[in-house]
Amino acid sequence: MAFTLPDLPFDNTQLAPFCSKETFEYHHGKHHAGYVNKLNTAVQGSEMENMNLEELIKKSYQEKNLGVFNNAAQHFNHSFFWQCINPSASKTPGSKTQELINQSFQSLDNFKAQFSDTAAKLFGSGWAWVVLNNEQKLEILALKDADTPIIFDKKPIMTLDVWEHAYYIDHRNARPNYIQEFWQFINWDNMEKLLS
């Protein structure tokens, strides 16, 4: 069964100045759609055609099949990212999220500072992630290009896309401004759901 582009789970006009409608039209409608189309073309007629997305990501990574891996992982990463931002979400973390943040980062301010710093310093293209590790603790990861926590057996909890295509229309080269605005739209409710 072919992979499909998911709809955005929010009104794309409601996340400025973090991301404008124009950014979403390109980021979701062109970039994410492009990964889905290339993935479908790459697996068509092969044994991978009927695998689910996570199986496909792990198998293509192990086999160093980058033509499949990059598009499959970017489809996963973008689909996940759209769940991590929402203009209607709670403006503070839920109780489980706050408890795990305190455990690993001492305070919400520390957590936000460390995540922002990781996202700002990631060289080139990639993703800043919050993951749950095997000890059930939160960690912040900077992953390059299409790399995704599931290939490292970590559970993704939250992510921010720091590829230039995510912010260049609205913020030009000022990635720190994009990161700063992100905190207004982070979907704390999604994190709480994944951690509960």
CA-atom Rg of the chain in angstroms: 16
Nearer CB in complex with Fe ion: 128/166:
166
Distance CA(85)–CA(81), nearest Å, equals 7
Our CB check for Fe ion shows the closer of 65 and 79 to be: 79
Q: Which is nearer to Fe ion, 69 or 105 (CB)?
A: 69
Going by C-alpha positions, the residue among 57, 111, 64, 47 that lies closest to residue 79 is 57
For the CB of residue 81, give the shortest distance to Fe ion in the complex, in Å.
Answer: 7
User: What one-letter code names the amino acid at 46?
Assistant: S
CB 5 within 8 A of CB 32: yes
CB of 31 to Fe ion, least distance (A): 5
The least CB distance from residue 167 to Fe ion, in Å, is: 10
Please state, in angstroms and rounded to a whole number, the distance separating the CA atoms of residues 128 and 115: 7
Which residue number, 28 or 100, has a Cβ lying nearer to Fe ion?
A: 28
Q: Which is nearer to Fe ion, 83 or 97 (CB)?
A: 83
Residue 77 to residue 66: CA distance in whole angstroms: 15
Q: Which two tokens stand for residue 156?
A: 């993704």
Helix (H, G, I), strand (E, B) or coil at 182: helix
Least CB distance to Fe ion at residue 119 (A):
13
Strands (E), the chain: 126-132, 138-144, 155-161
Residues that bind Fe ion (CB under 5 A): 161, 163, 166
The CB-of-165 to Fe ion minimum distance in angstroms stands at 5
